Amino acid sequence: MNSKRVVVAMSGGVDSSVTAALFKDRGFEVIGITMQIWERSEDWGDCGALRGTEDAERVADKLRIPHHVVNLRNTFKEKVIANFCEEYRKGKTPNPCIRCNQYIKFGALLKKAKELGAVYIATGHYARIEYDKDKKRYLLKRGVDHKKDQSYVLYAMAQEQLKHTLMPLGEFAKEKVRQMAEGLDLPVARRPESQNICFIPDDDYGKFVQSYLSEEITPGPILNKKGETIGRHKGIIFYTIGQRKGIGISAKKPLYVTGIDKKTNAIFVGRKKEVYSQELIANKVNFIAIKELKEPLKVEAKIRYLHQATSAIVFPLDKNKVLVKFEKPRWALTPGQAVVFYNGDTVIGGGTIFKTEKK
C-alpha cells in the first residue's frame, strides 16, 4: 500500500472538503470517497444524501482529485438505523453517530480505503490522534477547538482504526477552517452546518421510529414516584429522560420524565430534582488510552455530546462493564447515551449507559 495515498471521507460539507484540500497541498495522492446511505432520490440530511454527494463531487472537481461513491445503504440500515429504532423500542435513547463512526466511517469506509491501496483514511472530525511510544498505544484527544470537539462520538474506535486514521482539523479552530475554505474558493465554503441526525432532518425521532418499526406502538400508563397512575402516554418511543414537553399532564409545577420501563410499558414522571442521578452502570465499554481498567480511576466524565465533563470515579465491574460515581448529581443520565471518560484532553474510553441509580 502507498503511504502517501490517503482516502478522504467527503460528506460534501466544509470540514471534509478542507481536509481533502489540506492533504492535496501537503503532497499526498488524495482520493475522495462518499458513502451513499440513501437512494439517490432521498435527499435527507448531509451524510450520504443526494445534495452531499453532489457537493463532494463539485469539491473533488475543484481540487482535481478522483472521487468515488460507495453504496453502504444496507450496511447503514443494519448497523445504525435498525439499532437506533430497536433501542428506542426498548425505552432507551441511543446516539447513532457513535455506531456510524464505529461501523461505517472507520469500518466499511476504512476497508474501502485499503482496497484502493491507501494506508490512511482521513476525516473532517475535530479531534486529534497521537501515538504514545511508551504505552505503545494510539491516543484519541480532544480537538483544540473545544467548542467543536467531536472526541465524544469517537470513543468506540479500536487501536487498528486509530492507526489508519488522520484527523487534521483537530489542530484548528472552526472559524479558521471556514476561512481556509473561503480562501481556497471551495464551492461549499458558505454551506451551513447541519445540527440534526442525518437521517432525521425534521428532528422528530418518535415519528421516524414509528414509521420504521413493523409493530404497533402501544400507549401505556404514566406513573408518579409512588407508582400511582396519573395519565396515559402515547408510546415509550416518544419519550426520553428529562423530557418536559409533550407529557400531556396538567400540574401545578412542571413534570419531567424520570424513568422508562419497557417491561410494563410505563413512563415515570416527577419534579426536576428527581431527574438527577449520581451513579450509573455502563456496558459495551471500550478503552483507548489503557488496555483495561483494573482499579478505580478518577476521570472527567461526559454524558452527552454538548455537556461539560465533570469529576467522577470509574470502577471496574464484570467484563465490559463499569460503575461510574459522579462527584455531584448529574441531570438526566439517560440509558442508551454514551458516557466518555477523559484525563485532560485525552480520551480514556467510554461506554453505553445501561442503568442509573438515584442518590
Count the alpha carbons within 13 Å of 102 in the hemisphere toward its beta carbon.
17
Alpha-helix residue ranges (DSSP H) falling in 130-194: 159-163, 174-183
Count the alpha carbons within 13 Å of 149 in the hemisphere toward its beta carbon.
25
Query: Which one of 47, 85, 97, 100 is the catalytic residue?
Result: 100
Comparing CA positions, the residue from 75, 55, 50, 77 lying closest to residue 67 is: 55
Residue 70 sits at the vertex; the CA angle it makes with 67 and 72, to the nearest 5 degrees, is: 155
Q: Do the beta carbons of residue 353 and residue 337 sit within 8 Å?
A: yes
> How big is the chain, counted in residues?
359
Comparing CA positions, the residue from 92, 88, 86, 117 lying closest to residue 5 is: 117
Comparing CA positions, the residue from 117, 137, 103 lying closest to residue 35 is: 103
Q: The C-alpha cell of 299 is what?
A: 476521570
Comparing CA positions, the residue from 240, 251, 197, 233 lying closest to residue 76 is: 197
Residue 241 sits at the vertex; the CA angle it makes with 271 and 248, to the nearest 5 degrees, is: 65
Which residues make up each annotated binding site for ATP? 9-16, 35, 124
Question: Is 198 assigned a catalytic role?
Answer: yes
Q: Do the beta carbons of residue 359 and residue 279 sit within 8 Å?
A: yes
Count the alpha carbons within 13 Å of 15 in the hemisphere toward its beta carbon.
25
Which residues make up each annotated binding site? 9-16, 35, 124
Beta-strand ranges (E) seen in 176-217 are none
Cα–chain center distance at 12: 19
Spatial distance between the Cα atoms of 298 and 150, rounded to a whole number of angstroms: 22
Spatial distance between the Cα atoms of 276 and 303, rounded to a whole number of angstroms: 13
Spatial distance between the Cα atoms of 240 and 269, rounded to a whole number of angstroms: 11
The residues assigned a catalytic role are: 100, 198
